[in-house]
Amino acid sequence: MQIMQKSANWFRETIAWTKGAEPVAQPDRTTYGRVLIKMLYVMKLTCAMLLAFVIQVHASSSKAQSVTLVGQNLSLKNVFAVIEKQTGYVVFGKKELLQETLPVTVSVSGMPLTDFMKMVMKGQPLDYYLDAQTIIISAKTPAAGKASDALAGDADTTTMVQGKIINEKGDPVIGASVFLLSTHQVATTNEAGFFLFRSVPRGTYTLSVTHVSYQPQKQTLVVNSRQPIITSVVMRAGKIELQAVSISTGYQTIGKESTTGSYGVITAKELKENPSLNLLEKMNGLVPGMRVDPRNNSVQIRTFNSLTPDVTANAPLIVIDGFPALQNNLVSNPGTLLSRTSSPDKTNAILNTFNPDDIESITVLKDAAAASIWGSQAANGVIVIETKKGHRGQQPSLTASAALSVSAPPNLNQMKVMNSAEYIDMEKDLFDKGFFQDPNSYWRQPPTSEAVQLMFDAQDGKITAAQRDQELARLGAVNNKKQLTDNLLRNAVTQQYNLSVSGGGVNSNYYVSGHYAKDNPIYKYNDAQSYGLTANLNNTFLHDRVTLSTGIDYTYNNSLLNSMPQTLLTPGMQGIRPYETLFDANGQPTTKYLAFSQPVVDSFSRLGFLPWSFTPMDEINSTYTTYKTNTTRIIAGLHGIVTNWLSLDVKGSLSKYNTFMNYLQGENSYTIKDLLNTGTYNDNGKLIFGVPRGDILKTSNTISDDYSLRFQLNINKHFGEDHAFSFLAGNEFRQNRVQGYLDTYYGYDKDASNSVVVNPTTPYKTYLGTTTTLGSTDNYINQSIIRYLSYFGNATYSYKNKYFISGSARFDDYTQVGLERRKRAKPFWSGGVKWEVLKEDFMKKVTFLDQLSVRATLGTGGRVPVGGQLNSLYQYGGIDQITGLPYGSITTPGDLDLGWETTRTLNFGLDAALLHNRLRVSFDIYDKKTTDLIITASVDPTYGWTSLSYNSGNMTGHGYEGSISGDIVRNRNWTATTTFNLAYTKTEVTDSRYAPNDLTFVPGSPHILKGYPVDNLFAYRWAGLSNKGQPQIYDATGKIIPDGGTINFADLKYMGRTTPAFYGGFSQTVRYKSLQLRAMITYSLGYKIFYDPINVNNLPFNNSASGFLSDSKALVNRWRKPGDEANTNIPSLLDLTVNGKSDFAYADINVLSGSNIRLTQLALSYSFPERILKSTNVIKAMSLGMAASNLGLIWKANHAGVDPDYIFTGNYSSMKPTPNFNFNVNITL
């Protein structure tokens, strides 16, 4: 009876009943334990949520087409409720039909549905028939001369027309437009393919059905009584059978056929075909005009819109489920240093900002017509992500997936570096030239390497030359690569697990998922983990006129970060030289000395100082960073249908992003020992400590929140068969707030969680007797709040589904204190047209074409000003000792005229399909003009500052992009699909104030120059080495410029661009039955790179050397004696100046072509056939997959053996990654 009671309000006016989804309590997130506890917590919570949804929608996990029921005098309403409950069928009809039905008494168990229906409908005044998962009921044909008033409407003149639209396979056609010609009645089919006209007068009508994926169909209907008419229409595929591709702009979802703008869509199926765990790798190469760089976690759409090729300034806007994302990046890649309000430096730990398995589609909005409705940041394009929602009428579907990714660390033996003997030879060369100072000559002289110390010992007569050579030979034979690999590196292993359930009833749908991921990168003592929950619920009320949508997403990331493994493998003071080891022959950790020699350190230790030494393995365990983030996103909305052409939306979004970073430096770490020892003063045998003993903890916390509220009106109106008009308008309120602070705790005891209070401005004595202070730049709060008020609108008109006109407008206002509204508020707009050429009469005889359309758009987009300051910034300097008054200075002047940066875009596009849709082509060409860019220009220094940032810069950009996709083979057992896309981009600075005349600068990075692209690259003209081995460069006339001489702009050589002019992807997919093989290739062409073969930043200069120097293999061929300049370009280390290092590093001989073609992935997958899975009665779908990525170059233009994406800079972290192998399994129940 409980079921009966819950089904009391079961019968709706046109569609049957089902119980709605109940709200889910937000998970408790107050405690975080160990990894295992977190995994169990997430899985238990997820399973509980999944179980709740399954129970509330269906009493069991599977449905059988049979009925079990015992009861007396049951109403037919309650009987139908039980049928739907037990079978999953939907009852379709008019609720008034049940008013005259008779009660039934039944006692059956497992009776087939067809027999059960015959039994309960016997003697009832109703007819019925079963169609797919639907039971359609109607009144029985009345006796002659009698009338039935079972149906609403005019009792004498009208009746109801209802029906179902299906395709040739029997599947419902969703979203078909059904016209009752000669009337104004129009209907749209629902998720089950049904439509309904409630009141149709008597007469003869033509029923016209259209859908973009099918040929139009017409059917004659005769209405001559009040008897309801039930019909069905079969839609047949047209010449071009389009997939159901929808474009989501974040404000509306529209069919691709009616859009005038330039879009790219990545479906869930395409994401699934790429088993990579990195979302950017999944997106790479799929959309023409979108350049993805997984290594640097960046995305660029079309050309730059900034005067500098900066990733952040040109980043597109990220929109999730209709609202801007709080974190405008797709992948989080945390690192090891502390930062106030942003992620720290990078490691190899990859944590997706959100779970890729939850994504239904990714839409890339590229031109103004597509993106201008977003206003702020739309000039850089928009990436709209829609998460999965579940489907109405779908039985519960439980999906579980697991993925494992493994890759080896790059081989240290493959680094292009010197071996121990070669490095010692370089040190001997420097020793002979007097680059090192003898540590024994003065107690404050820094220590040298073991090899150099042997040379000093021999020079001082402590050992013989033979003994020196013998020891140097022993050191020269050392190979520490295995020891470094075993103790610092490991195989990278990433695990990811997902569990989700989705489904729905007639008036609800749901999708709930949980995920857990763990990443162990190649560096030991580092790891990252992530878990999260997602729930999307939709419920309809009031006869489908009101829809309530809610979405909740929570993600927690936790990373342990340790930079010491990278530091030890990198040239520098703490780096490990080729002959140095981590453990000695007895297995004990080795120790080296950085500030003082060992005898001096021992003397300090006897006085009570901490050991002033560096032990690598101890250092690893003494310094680390923990990085934790919590991300919560809640979206809710109400959609109300006023009429069949008018609806209203109210939606809101609340997002929170919290970051907690702790950087702990233990007392045993070298940095802290050096700080404590430096602040220790020996006062007649008594040590006075200026810095508290203990650890130092630095914390950095960022709290961000963002809320949006949107009101929107929607119109979708058809005027007969020829005219259609859609319109939306609304306004939006948004606030974004970020608050960050940093604290430092001295004398920190992690066991007791306490510290010592210090005054960082109080001077203390050092070991030398001088005074210093700790100094402090923390213990203050950074806060920023920006509020937006926006009005927006979009309209599209189509005539005969052949001609389309669209327009959009948005007015954005944002808060800036002191700025007039007329200067801070900005309107953006766009307009577009589209012509379906193939639908013209003159194209009817063109049989090889299946689609041909052309489009054009023009519009503007903008970006909130960044880089400039509205208000002047004042820096407090302290208290004047004479006046006793505070003093300070204005560090950055304000600009009250600060405003938006604006980009105007003109776009032309063409879309075509031919040969029965086997070949599909899309092409776009565009032109951009960006004005009012914020620039920093020099001003008269008598104003009190030397430069000022304001709106003034101008630039242009243009490009083209295209995609061609073809089904080479397409039959039941075999398919072979090839896709190729190409993009070309170019920018040019047009601001005349940046004319290059008489301009001087150091090359190596792009500079703002009129007439050149923003990603320009210049180099010195290489003139070879002098007879002393020093770098030389030419001026414009071919004369050698002396070291330190003036270099004019004309003396530089333009080499090209630093980013690819051409880029794109190529994929080949081959399927044989259930086995599929996919290859993905990406390419980048037409750009240059600087390659420094000797890592000049770690070379000695001014005849002085210390620490682990550059060990580049190229230094073996360095200049050593006069005459060598004829055979080498590697300079001598003697007398090498700062200018000399720059002359070599930025010479044109070190500029290489970056053009390359790369095999990014090979993937093999197998989907178990349905006939095999049916025997289990449980598994609906199952697939296995494996993939290999990072497979290297297929071709490169340069002959120097340099991979343009992984330029070796002498650091281990710059080596190209080894192949990655991924294994995954996916099961749906």
Give pLDDT tens digits for 1081-1092. 999 999 999 999
The amino acid that residue 82 corresponds to is V
Beta bridge partners, 204, equal 222
Let me know if residue 191 belongs to a domain: yes
Q: Is the pLDDT of residue 950 over 80?
A: no
CA 229 to chain centre: 52
Cα separations (Å) of 718 from 178, 220, 785, 1109? Answer: 10, 21, 44, 75
Would you state the pLDDT for residue 719? Answer: 87
Q: Which of 670, 666, 661, 626 is nearest to 743 (CA)?
A: 661
Q: Is the pLDDT of residue 47 over 50?
A: no
Would you state the pLDDT for residue 13? Answer: 32
Q: Is the pLDDT of residue 46 over 90?
A: no
| Long-range interactions of 780-784: CB distance < 8 A, separation 24+ | 780/741, 781/739, 781/740, 781/741, 782/340, 782/341, 782/738, 782/739, 782/740, 782/741, 783/737, 783/738, 783/739, 783/740, 784/737, 784/738, 784/739
Q: Which two tokens stand for residue 788?
A: 């937006």
Q: What value, to the nearest 5°, has the Cα angle with vertex 933 and ends 930 and 935?
A: 145
Residue 209: give the domain boundaries: 152-226
**Separation between Cα atoms, residue 79 and residue 11, nearest integer Å:** 12
Let me know if residue 321 belongs to a domain: yes
**Separation between Cα atoms, residue 852 and residue 839, nearest integer Å:** 8
Mean local confidence (pLDDT), 652-662? 91
- Specify the range with the lowest mean pLDDT, choosing from 91-100, 510-519, 598-607, 1048-1057: 91-100
Let me know if residue 304 belongs to a domain: yes
The CATH number of the domain holding residue 381 is 2.170.130.10
Would you state the pLDDT for residue 1159? Answer: 95
Q: Are residues 311 and 376 in the same domain?
A: yes
- Specify the range with the lowest mean pLDDT, choosing from 419-423, 489-493, 625-629, 1065-1069: 625-629
CA dihedral sign, ordered 989, 994, 999, 1004: negative
Q: Is the pLDDT of residue 821 over 70?
A: no
Burial classification of residue 758, based on how many CB atoms lie within 10 Å of its CB (0-12 exposed, 13-18 middle, 19 or more buried): middle
Q: Where residue 739 falls among pLDDT bands split at 50, 70, 90?
A: confident
**Separation between Cα atoms, residue 1058 and residue 347, nearest integer Å:** 24
Let me know if residue 866 belongs to a domain: no
Residue 305 · residue 379 · CB < 8 Å? yes
Residue 257 · residue 212 · CB < 8 Å? yes
Mean local confidence (pLDDT), 739-767? 89
Q: What value, to the nearest 5°, has the Cα angle with vertex 368 and ends 980 and 330?
A: 60
Q: Which of the listed residues 390, 408, 440 is the one where a domain comes to its end?
A: 390
Would you state the pLDDT for residue 761? Answer: 83
Let me know if residue 385 belongs to a domain: yes
**Separation between Cα atoms, residue 69 and residue 117, nearest integer Å:** 12
Would you state the pLDDT for residue 599? Answer: 93
Would you state the pLDDT for residue 79? Answer: 87
Residue 318 · residue 717 · CB < 8 Å? no
Whole-prediction pTM value?
Answer: 0.78
Residue 492 · residue 41 · CB < 8 Å? no
Would you state the pLDDT for residue 171? Answer: 76
Tokens 């020992």 -> residue: 673
Listing DSSP states for 927-968 in one string gives EEEEEEEEEEEE--GGGS-SEEEEEEEEEEEEEEEEEEEEEE
Beta bridge partners, 537, equal 510, 550
Q: Which of 527, 674, 395, 564 is nearest to 34 (CA)?
A: 527
pLDDT in tens, 433-481: 999 999 988 898 889 999 999 999 999 999 999 999 999 999 999 999 9
Residue 1190 · residue 1219 · CB < 8 Å? yes
Q: Where residue 353 falls among pLDDT bands split at 50, 70, 90?
A: low
pLDDT in tens, 1117-1128: 999 999 999 999
Mean local confidence (pLDDT), 421-430? 94
Q: Which two tokens stand for residue 1129?
A: 């370009």
Q: Are residues 264 and 299 in the same domain?
A: yes
Q: Which of 228, 552, 544 is nearest to 393 (CA)?
A: 544
**Separation between Cα atoms, residue 416 and residue 477, nearest integer Å:** 18
Strand extents, DSSP E, 132-228: 134-139, 158-167, 177-180, 186-188, 194-201, 203-211, 214-223
Q: Is the pLDDT of residue 170 over 80?
A: no
Look at the chain and report how many structural domains it folds into. 2
Tell me what the pLDDT averaged over the chain comes to: 82
Mean local confidence (pLDDT), 932-961? 78
Contacting residues for 859 by C-beta, under 8 A, at least 6 apart: 367, 368, 369, 372, 808, 828, 829, 830, 831, 832, 904, 905
Strands 90-92 vs 134-139: parallel, antiparallel or unpaired:
parallel
- Specify the range with the lowest mean pLDDT, choosing from 60-64, 927-931, 1072-1076: 60-64
Would you state the pLDDT for residue 351? Answer: 46
Q: Are residues 258 and 216 in the same domain?
A: no
Q: Are residues 163 and 257 in the same domain?
A: no
Q: Are residues 217 and 323 in the same domain?
A: no
Q: Which of the listed residues 367, 390, 413 is the one where a domain comes to its end?
A: 390
Let me know if residue 320 belongs to a domain: yes
- Specify the range with the lowest mean pLDDT, choosing from 479-483, 726-730, 1172-1176, 1194-1198: 1172-1176
Beta bridge partners, 187, equal 178
H/E stretch holding 548 reads strand 546-561
Q: Where residue 151 falls among pLDDT bands split at 50, 70, 90?
A: very low
Using alpha carbons only, how large is the chain's radius of gyration in Å? 36
Mean local confidence (pLDDT), 42-47? 45
How big, in percent rounded to 5, are the helix, strand and coil portions of the chain?
Answer: 15, 45, 40
- Specify the range with the lowest mean pLDDT, choosing from 12-21, 506-515, 744-753: 12-21
Residue 377 · residue 316 · CB < 8 Å? yes
pLDDT in tens, 207-217: 888 876 677 88
Q: Are residues 215 and 178 in the same domain?
A: yes
pLDDT in tens, 1181-1207: 899 999 999 999 999 999 988 999 988
Would you state the pLDDT for residue 26? Answer: 34
Q: Is the pLDDT of residue 917 over 90?
A: no
- Specify the range with the lowest mean pLDDT, choosing from 3-7, 62-66, 594-598: 3-7
Would you state the pLDDT for residue 309? Answer: 77
Q: Where residue 700 falls among pLDDT bands split at 50, 70, 90?
A: confident
Would you state the pLDDT for residue 336? Answer: 40
Q: Which of 395, 709, 705, 389 is nearest to 549 (CA)?
A: 389
Residue 1041 · residue 272 · CB < 8 Å? no
Q: Which of 1101, 319, 1183 is nearest to 708 (CA)?
A: 319
Mean local confidence (pLDDT), 730-747? 89
Q: Are residues 251 and 385 in the same domain?
A: yes
For the chain, percent of residues with pLDDT exceeding 90 = 42
Q: Are residues 276 and 179 in the same domain?
A: no
Residue 889 · residue 350 · CB < 8 Å? no
Would you state the pLDDT for residue 11? Answer: 31
Q: Is the pLDDT of residue 837 over 90?
A: yes
Let me know if residue 308 belongs to a domain: yes
Beta bridge partners, 811, equal 791, 827
Alpha helices in 461-541 (DSSP H): 465-476, 481-488
Let me know if residue 1083 belongs to a domain: no
Query: Quick check: helix, strand or coil at residue 1139?
Result: helix
**Separation between Cα atoms, residue 191 and residue 802, nearest integer Å:** 26
pLDDT in tens, 755-807: 998 888 889 999 998 999 888 766 667 778 888 888 999 999 999 889 999 99
Beta bridge partners, 620, equal none
Cα separations (Å) of 398 from 43, 48, 452, 1227? Answer: 14, 13, 67, 8
**Separation between Cα atoms, residue 1137 and residue 407, nearest integer Å:** 42
Q: Are residues 307 and 342 in the same domain?
A: yes
Task: Supply the DSSP symbol for 193.
Answer: S
Q: Which two tokens stand for residue 404?
A: 């494992």
**Separation between Cα atoms, residue 377 and residue 548, nearest integer Å:** 30
Would you state the pLDDT for residue 998? Answer: 61
Would you state the pLDDT for residue 1180? Answer: 86
Query: Most confidently modeled of 342-346, 614-618, 755-759?
Result: 614-618
Q: Which of 1067, 1215, 1076 is nearest to 282 (CA)?
A: 1067
Q: Is the pLDDT of residue 55 over 90?
A: no
Q: Are residues 256 and 327 in the same domain?
A: yes
Mean local confidence (pLDDT), 89-117? 79
pLDDT in tens, 1111-1152: 999 999 999 999 999 999 999 988 888 889 999 999 999 999
Q: Which of the listed residues 172, 191, 226 is the one where a domain comes to its end?
A: 226
**Separation between Cα atoms, residue 686 and residue 467, nearest integer Å:** 43
Higher pLDDT, 44 or 566: 566
Contacting residues for 473 by C-beta, under 8 A, at least 6 apart: none
Q: Is the pLDDT of residue 611 over 60?
A: yes
The CATH number of the domain holding residue 183 is 2.60.40.10
Q: Are residues 219 and 323 in the same domain?
A: no
Would you state the pLDDT for residue 1000? Answer: 67
**Separation between Cα atoms, residue 17 and residue 8, nearest integer Å:** 10
Q: Are residues 381 and 251 in the same domain?
A: yes
CA atoms within 13 A on the CB side of 1066: 7
Strands 317-320 vs 382-387: parallel, antiparallel or unpaired:
parallel
